[in-house]
Structure 1
Amino acid sequence: MKKFLLATAACALAAGSASAEDVKLGILLGFTGPIETIAPNMALSSEMAIKEVNASGKAANGWVFSGVRADSTCIDAAAAQAAAERLVTSEGVKGIIGADCSGVTRAVLTNTAIPNGIVMISPSATSPALSDDPDEGLFFRTVPSDAREGVIMADVLAERGVTSIAISYSNSDYGKGQADAIAAAAEAKGIKVTINASHDDGKADYSAEVAALAAAGGDVLVVAGYVDQGGKGIIQAAVDTGAFTTFGLPGGMFGESLTQAIGAPLEGSYGQHPSSDAAGYQTYLDAATANDPTFDGSTNFAPNSYDATAILILAMQAAGSTDPKVYKDKIMEVANGPADGSGEVINPGELGKALELIAAGKPVNYEGATGVTFLENGDVMGRYREYQIKDGKWETVKYR
């Protein structure tokens, strides 16, 4: 993905003068489907950033931002594209936070975002293929690629003395990319992969898939699936048959709905998911609770959603424009800051301050909730929270 050179200030200001006061941002997430228990908190995080900006009153040109939700379904590319088209053509959004799952994200990028020149920042699409997909400088993500998570998971397995694993993965861009990355990294550490087999989401019965996994054997069954769909079904079938007692759970399987559904048989299982121990993470969590006492800001990909939204808005401020073709060239500038380190660090709760600094021509370095720093291709390195399940709770082991 090639990120183009910075636009000139003159061009940015000229484009900014024509901007409308009400600036809509699309929030394209899987409110139905395999991650339907995760998406609402991701959206709330995005809307929290919008609310913070509007409350500051510091946005250029009297801009007032609003979020428009649309359902990607996570797995139905046609439905996701239709939702994205509505956001662009009917709602007139100036950027999209999303999509969420990798397959629909690639479809929307190719068929909607690029043809319409719309910037997308995904808080959760992790397929390694997105690192190299053509994007005309329009696609970024605040979550690291599965290529990195594969290495992290192999480290976690090796440190726990695991010598063999079976892998079951969702038959999707996310699942295959995640499983292949884990398998390659595990084998590089001398861990035998006995089977690496797909499962389809939406099935009522996974006994055949689990029988094949059990026949292959392994110390641990790694499930690279979705927490509210086939991944949960595979685990339930494995528990029901006694095929496996310990499960490796990468990012797509992190969620309270899993422990609520499976219960005690998950005791001792473990894994990792993209998370943060950045300086601003606790500030973000405190702000989330203050914004809504019922809102758990630590939900998978929620902090990444706050950061994606904040970066979009700060890039618009830096460009003096809500035109994606103009502000896309400011995204790395506001997120990474100047190479000499002179940009003022911006954490959650400081978006009004950032808008003021940018308006005054001063550089910023947006760290946010997850310590965002973009690589040249729009990816981030990210950090991972290693966890284990103890007494029905997802306990933090450490950050990697």
Structure 2
Amino acid sequence: MMKKTTYALALAALLASSAASLAEDTKIGVLMDITGPIASFIPPLQNAANLAVKHVNDNGGLLDGKAVAVYGDTTGSSQGAVDAAGKLINVENVPIIMGALMSGTTIAAAEAAAIPAGVVQISPTATSPAMTDIDDNDLLYRIVPSDNFQGKVLADMVLEEGINKVAVTYVNNDYGVGIGGTFVEAFKAAGGEVVAEVKHEEKKNSYRSELATLSKAGGDALVVIAYAGDSGSKIVKQSIEGGLFTKFIGTDGLRDEALIADIGAEALATSFFSAPTSPDDNPNQAMLHEAYTAEYSEPADKPFVDQTYDATFMTLLAVEAAGSADRAKMAESLRAIASAPGEKVGPGEWAKAKALLAEGKDIDYDGAGGSYDFDEAGDVAGAIGKFVVDGDVYKQIKIYQ
């Protein structure tokens, strides 16, 4: 009987110890469009998010234990985003979510899942102007500038190239309509002429009808605002095959190495693209890129690697600064770690941040993508880069701030 009692007590102690150990780990949600139209973007972004978690766990951990990133796949669709976000919130019980990436999936997840549950969501890549006006109870954030800015910058880029007449096609979703409308308005206001404007649908096999309309109207170039993994690459390829356009202008959705692989660098030699970027000569970008290359033996100059790392690191800083995984504290905490006043911390400097917070001091995170001072709507200012095709990759040739 004594042996049985001793064994039972030992087993209970072991189970209690295991439960306590598990309880020390803190989950954060990572909502990504792993499958769907931007699947080709995802592997380096997963690496970036995982590197942020590794930097935390290798340098003191989160709260009293480790950080655990729990992934949800939106499948690149609104319903998929709602389902994945709902699982992170209701099953995994995460206090904060990094993501999603596409504007449409970010908005769907926020409106149907995160906002009703009181969960903060911070996107590293969603650019739709519609996000600014969502009634979100201070729960929805992003760390890239709105397309209200990128659309105007793109108009400047086009005119600087001496291109005064363009045809425009943009995908019929939150991303395409947002930046497409801003670009058209800004281009016309600056004296440019939009000879034709066509809104197109996703997931079609042929865009030859739309291209015939655009080509017939003339224009010195075709502005394509879409994801390369869906309609964007098809439109460019069918334009070239039909001899309709030879110069293409795109935004971040088209700045995808899958486009180069599909079309070929030579056919894109006169094209250029806009995308959110880091400010010029940002030492924190160099810091992250060195760490990323050392960890993964590949370059970090891929679209949105900087912002994905930063957004993930910021969610972890928000939890640490709050002192718990209390959802109600996340918004205030996120704003606090991202804004002055406070001692500067950068990518990878988790031990420094954790020590400062433990001492009751304020911190101000400046990331690989720049500084992130949120306005009332959870938006930030930022920088837009101009990119051209250089071999099998994109090369940045100018920055607009």
The alignment partner of 2:58 has SS state of: helix
Q: CA deviation at 1:169?
A: 0.8
Q: Deviations over 1:223-273 (max 9, x none)?
A: 110021101111111111111111111111111111111002111200210
The answer to whether the 8 A contact 2:25-2:62 is kept is: no
1:282 is the counterpart of 2:286: yes
Amino acid at match of 1:131: T
1:79-94 alignment, distance < 5 Å: 79-94=80-95
Letter of the 2:337 partner, please give it.
Answer: V
Q: Unpaired segments of 5 or more residues in structure 1?
A: 1-18
Question: 1:207-234, CA deviations, whole angstroms, 9 ceiling, x for partnerless residues?
Answer: 1111111012211111110021101111
Q: What does 1:284-323 align with in structure 2 at a 5 Å threshold?
A: 284-294=288-298, 296-323=299-326
Distance 1:261 1:310 in 2: 34
The 8 Å contact of residues 99 and 122 in structure 1, kept in 2 or not, is answered as yes
Residue 10 of structure 1: aligned partner: none
Q: What is the aligned partner in structure 1 of residue 349 from structure 2?
A: 350
TM-score with structure 2 length normalisation?
Answer: 0.90
Q: Which residue of 1 aligns with 2:399?
A: 399
Instruction: Tell me the amino acid that sits aligned with residue 174 of structure 1.
Output: Y
Alignment deviations for residues 300-334 of structure 1 (CA, whole Å, 9 cap, x no partner): 12211111111111111211121121121111111
Match of 1:5 in 2: none
Shift of 1:395: 1.8
Tell me the distance in 1 between the aligned counterparts of 2:79 and 2:115.
Answer: 16
CA contact (8 A) 1:317 1:359 kept: no
Out of 45, 48, 51, the position equivalent to 2:48 is 45
Question: Residues 140 and 20 of structure 1: is their aligned pair in 2 closer, same or farther, counting only changes over 3 Å?
Answer: farther
Question: Are 1:170 and 2:184 an aligned pair?
Answer: no
> Which residue is equivalent to 1:199?
200
1: distance between equivalents of 2:390 and 2:243?
20
Aligned-pair identity in percent equals: 37
Q: Are residues 1:265 and 2:264 paired? A: no
Question: In 2, distance between residues paired with 1:198 and 1:134?
Answer: 27
Aligned counterparts of 1:98 and 1:337: Cα–Cα separation in 2: 24
The answer to whether the Cα contact below 8 Å between 2:276 and 2:382 also exists between their aligned partners in 1 is yes
Please list every run of 5 or more consecutive structure 2 residues that lacks an aligned counterpart in the other structure. 1-21
1:158-200 residue CA offsets vs partner (Å, 9 max, x unmatched): 1111101111111111011010011111111111111221222
**Contact persistence 2:26–2:62 (CA under 8 A):** no
Q: Secondary structure, in 3 states, of the residue corresponding to 1:228?
A: helix
Change (3 A) 1:391 1:38: closer
Secondary structure (helix, strand or coil) at the match of 1:311 reads: helix
2:222 corresponds to 1:218: no
Q: After superposition, what is the alpha-carbon deviation per residue over 1:10-50, rounded to whole angstroms, capped at 9, x for unaligned?
A: xxxxxxxxx94211112111111110011222122111111
Aligned to 2:385: 385
Larger Rg: 2
Which string of whole-angstrom CA distances, capped at 9 and with x for unpartnered residues, describes residues 33-73 of structure 1? Answer: 1100112221221111111001101533x131111121112
* TM value normalised by structure 1: 0.91
Matches within 5 A, 1:34-183: 34-60=37-63, 62-74=64-76, 76-183=77-184
Deviation of the 1:390 alpha carbon: 3.9
Greater relative CO, 1 or 2 (CA 8 Å, sep 6+): 1
Aligned residue identity for 1:351: W
Q: Which residue identity lines up with residue 284 of structure 1 in the other structure?
A: L
CA distance in 1, matches of 2:153, 2:238: 27
Aligned-pair distance for 1:375? 2.1
Structure 2 distance, partners of 1:33, 1:92, is 26
**SS of residue matched to 1:56:** coil
1:83 CA displacement: 1.1
Counterpart of 2:285, as a letter, is Y
Contact map agreement 2:207 2:238 (CA 8 A) in 1: yes
- Distance in 1, Cα, partners of 2:193 & 2:346: 42
Q: Which residue of 1 aligns with 2:340?
A: 337
Q: Name the SS of the counterpart of 1:96 in structure 2.
A: strand
